[in-house]
Structure 1
Amino acid sequence: MPERIVLTGAAGSMGRLMRPRLARPGRSLRLVDIAPIPPAEPGEDADAVQASVTDLAAMQKAFEGADAVVHLGGLSTEGPWEQMVRTNIHGSYVVLEAARRSGSPRVILASSSHAVGFHPRDGSEAPDYLFPRPDTFYGVSKAAGEALGSLYHDRYGLDVVCLRIGSCREKPSLPRQLATWLSPDDGARLLEAALTAPSPGFRVVWGVSANTRGWFALDEARKLGYQPQDDAEQFAADVEDGPAAGLDDTYLGGTFCSPELDAEITP
């Protein structure tokens, strides 16, 4: 039987980057998203399920026979509280509960550096398992996902690895991303480490490349077997003098800590 991996958020920005990098001989991908999913490429062993991660029955069916679930689905930036609760917090619960019910033994959760965004930048390396200090409702939703992952490991025995992802994109575009960048290739390396580490239990690890200006510890990620090979420094000349060169990095969350993202106050 081929290895089966479920990828939620397969039509999203990170999902599109990870999909071709996760494909390999002997592995079957099940691609899940509420948005339309492009058909399988020639030679790609993949099938698609168009459904919301908030639909427990659909997720349980999609996860049947899966060796692991990589949960990248959900909202990827700040939004109204009701949307964060429904899509990100409830969606994370649904994914973990569907994995438990379907017998899928391992879930990789896409968390975020914004779960700890209001920690001040003090010049030292942000340690693994840094206590949650979210910068937005989005950050709260990611901290809640980590808490749910901890519960589902301790109560039900699922292996759950939470990846506090920095900035996963083809290349950095802002000065802050010289510290937070996760290259797509390193993103795939991190996922492979999380998927293949023997009995990882519950882990919270930083999802960043080996950046010269990095702010984050990679000890726990390396214990999983992650070997980052990329460094944002190669792009420094392109972004240091860009439009955001004066970006305030007082906090780990950068502009997510700005008053511009304060919740609207209604009388």
Structure 2
Amino acid sequence: MSTILITGAAGGVGTLMRPRLARDGRVLRLLDLAPLDPAAGHGEEAIQASITDMDAMVSACEGVDAVIHLGGLSTEHSWEQILDANINGTYTVFEAARRAGVPKVVFASSNHVVGFHTPDEYPLPEAVVPLPDTYYGVSKVAGEALGALYAKRYGLNVISIRILSCFAAPRDLRMLSTWLAPDDGAQLLEACLAQEKPGYRVVYGVSDNTRGGWVSLDSARALGYEPLGDAEAYAAAMIAEKGEPELDDPVFAYLGGAFTFANLDADNL
């Protein structure tokens, strides 16, 4: 029997992953401040707690084989909010895992770590210089750095997944290039969990979309990831409704898309 702790389990990605990660002989320990929908069922344990609460996180990590850290704010907020939830929260998760003897953490990072890179640089390699587009992006840079520290100093196995756009279906024309199909997301997480001693790695989380190629999948494929989803299945209906994507639209100017827009400048938050 293995136990996997999922933080942020009530969020969008967590809700999509729960049924896809369910396995006979596996317990999903689901942690969030928000209530789960649906409520915890067979093979699941619910914990209502904050990722910034060290005592609660150490307790949640007891007896766990791996942590999938999805918790935190998923969009831009004030520095104070990002610092507390995403930076202090991620530190707490890594430190709690260390104290409890958890061997592996899979950290949900983001393309917003490298959001100010431009299309002339595509496909972006995993080792590209971070150019975060927001305080949110900075928090994911910090999370990757914390993962590297805990891997190198304490021997924790850490894989950071720079997720692009994980939704049940693409929500806009840009996601025809950035979509991570939920089944592919679960497959990538399983590939991470299957690695006994991966050390520290960074991979991108995206399906092999016909209109993609924005980031490298080399490191993800090295883990055994073979994406099957393709946003092109949604393209005809979406283009009929919204028109063909205009590549001079500012949303395509940077990998970070609308996260690079001026409405997210500090004075506007």
Q: Where on the TM-score scale, by shorter chain, does this alignment land: which range? A: over 0.9
After superposition, the Cα gap between the structure-2 partners of 1:243 and 1:71, relative to the gap in structure 1 and judged at 3 Å, is: farther
Question: Would you say the 8 A contact 1:116–1:134 is kept in 2?
Answer: yes
Q: In structure 2, which of residues 205, 208, 230 is the aligned counterpart of residue 207 of structure 1?
A: 205
- Relative to 1, partners in 2 of residues 1:265 and 1:186: Cα closer, same or farther, differing over 3 Å? closer
TM-score (norm 1): 0.95
Shift of 1:40: 2.5
Q: What residue identity is the alignment partner of 2:46?
A: A
**Alignment partner for residue 253 of structure 2, among 250, 254, 260?**
250
Question: What displacement does 1:245 show?
Answer: 4.2
Shift of 1:244: 9.4
Which amino acid in 1 is paired with 2:39? P
* SS of equivalent to 1:163: strand
How many Å apart are 1:123 and its aligned residue? 6.0
TM-score, normalised to structure 2's length? 0.94
- Structure 2: 5+ residue runs without aligned partners? none
Provide the secondary structure at the position in 2 that maps to 1:91. Answer: helix
Identical counterparts, % of pairs = 57
Structure 1 residues not aligned, in runs of 5+ = none
| Residue of structure 2 equivalent to 1:39 | 39
Report the CA distance between 1:127 and its aligned residue: 1.1
- The answer to whether the 8 A contact 1:74-1:88 is kept is yes
Aligned residue runs from structure 1 range 8-27, under 5 A:
8-27=7-26
1:156 and 2:182 are equivalent in the alignment: no
RMSD of Structure 2 on Structure 1 (CA)? 1.5
- Structure 2 counterpart SS, 1:30: strand
Q: Alpha-carbon deviations, 1:159-192, whole Å to 9, x = none?
A: 0000000000011121111111001000000000
CA distance, structure 1, for counterparts of residue 48 and residue 3 of structure 2:
18
Q: Partners in 2 of 1:256 and 1:23 — Cα distance? A: 33
Larger proportion of helix? 2
Quickly say closer, same or farther: Cα 1:265–1:254, change in 2 above 3 A: closer
Whether the 8 Å contact between 1:159 and 1:199 is mirrored in structure 2 is: yes
Letter of the 1:252 partner, please give it. L
For residues 243 and 173 of structure 1, the distance between their equivalents in structure 2, rounded to whole angstroms, comes to 14
